[in-house]
Amino acid sequence: MLRHFRESFIVTILGLVAAFCFGYYAQGHSLVAGLDAAFLAFLLAILETAFSFDNAVVNASVLKNLTAKWQKCFLTWGMVIAVFGMRILFPLLIVSFSAWVDPWEATKIALFHHQRYEEVVTAAHASIAGFGSAFLMLVGLSFFVKDTHSPVWISCIERPLMKLRVIPFVSYILTFAILAGFVLWFDHKDGYSFSIAALFGMVAYFLLEQFEHLMGRPTQGGGGLATFIYLEFLDASFSFDGVIGAFAVTNDIVLIAIGLGIGAMFVRSMTVALVQGGHLSQYPYLEAGAFYAIVTLAFITALNVKIEVPEIISGLSGIVWIGGSLIYSIMMNRRNLTN
């Protein structure tokens, strides 16, 4: 198991050294500032890792169908996209569009005007939440309504949902209805931003679905580019709240990128460990638990626009679902052995 985390530990060491050097030189060669920067990056990494196990399980359910080459791409090129794309470039684009400045000016705001950077990114929360909650809701609901999955964990919920699969685009209909309820609850400004972004999230998921059908749905040991792109969008949707939540720790984009980047690497290592260790088949209800966690996260992401839900609540919700499905899997495995 530990061999899957070798690269993650290396990235952690390099990241913390980089954070220390950044703090040390940014604050006039202050040892205390360097240690403080390293600690903040480490704290962000811990939070990102601890609250992303559901992300790893869902990723593993998709990644298990890919060849070793594409699994390696997920750890290498996928990591570059996760850190530089979602933890650095994405917030800069938000600043650029929201503040109506060019990317270079947005970069200067992020690096030298931390308070302004935090205010701009936080002000775009409704749009970020709209896209993320729509995409995650579709990911979660599609698992329950698209195909008959086995084994069934919570039958009173899953069996009725599976019967709905005969309705065309049922996952989109359910997602639209649920998020429309949130839009009616929000004030006009947030509701407008949320609804437009949610539509983009639904369109993005639809296009990825069509691209996957065009490229061919992956089978065990197959798959490729389409599934890789889907995984990156999935990771992006999971990371939205993490980028916003990081401001509770620091508003320094460099430390946020380092800390969340370390966490993203551990999530990827957990994903590969789950796949190569065969844990999804060993604990058969784990996958359903992860998709329950995704639907819950989608609700919390939308709810955050109106009510500030503590980061620990969203994190613990995933842990509860994953933990519950894991315990139930162990109980069922023992029962099958005794029968």
Three-class secondary structure of residue 222 per DSSP: strand
Tokens 């994405």, residue?
Answer: 90
Model confidence pLDDT, tens digit, residues 11-49: 899 999 999 999 988 877 888 889 999 999 999 898 888
Amino acid in the structure at residue 100 = W
Average of per-residue pLDDT across 199-206: 90
Q: What is the pLDDT of residue 1?
A: 56
In this prediction, what percent of the chain has a pLDDT beyond 90? 21
Q: pLDDT tens-digit profile of 84-110?
A: 777 778 778 777 876 677 878 888 888
- Mean pLDDT for the stretch of residues 307-321: 82
Exposure string for 111-138, b = 16+ CB within 10 A, e = fewer = eeebeebbbbbeebbbbbbbbbbbbbbb
Q: Are 20 and 267 in contact (CB under 8 A)?
A: no
- C-alpha to C-alpha distance for 24 and 42, rounded to whole angstroms: 16
Closest by CA position to 54, among listed 282, 296, 218: 296
SS3 percent helix, strand, coil of the chain, rounded to 5, is: 85, 0, 15
Averaged confidence pLDDT in the chain: 83
For residue 211, pLDDT over 50 is answered with: yes
Is the pLDDT reported for residue 218 higher than 80? no
223 — pLDDT class (breaks 50, 70, 90): low
Banded model confidence at residue 221, pLDDT cuts 50, 70, 90 = very low
For position 77, what pLDDT does the model report? 79
| pLDDT score of 148 more than 80 | no
Buried b (16+ CB within 10 A) or exposed e, 287-308: bbbbbbbbbbbbbbbbbbbbee
Residue pair 115/251 in contact (Cβ under 8 Å)? The answer is yes
- Averaged over 193-214, what is the pLDDT? 86
b or e along 260-275 (b: 16 or more beta carbons within 10 Å of the residue's beta carbon)? bbbbbbbbbbbbbbbb
Residue pLDDT, tens place only, 120-144: 888 888 888 898 899 889 988 988 8
pTM strictly above 0.85: no
Residue boundaries of the structural domains of the chain: 2-338
pLDDT value of residue 234: 77
SS3 66: strand
Confidence bin at 292 (pLDDT 50/70/90): very high
- pLDDT interval class at 79 (50, 70, 90): confident
- Write down the pLDDT at residue 283: 85
For the segment 253-260, the average pLDDT, to the nearest whole number, is 89
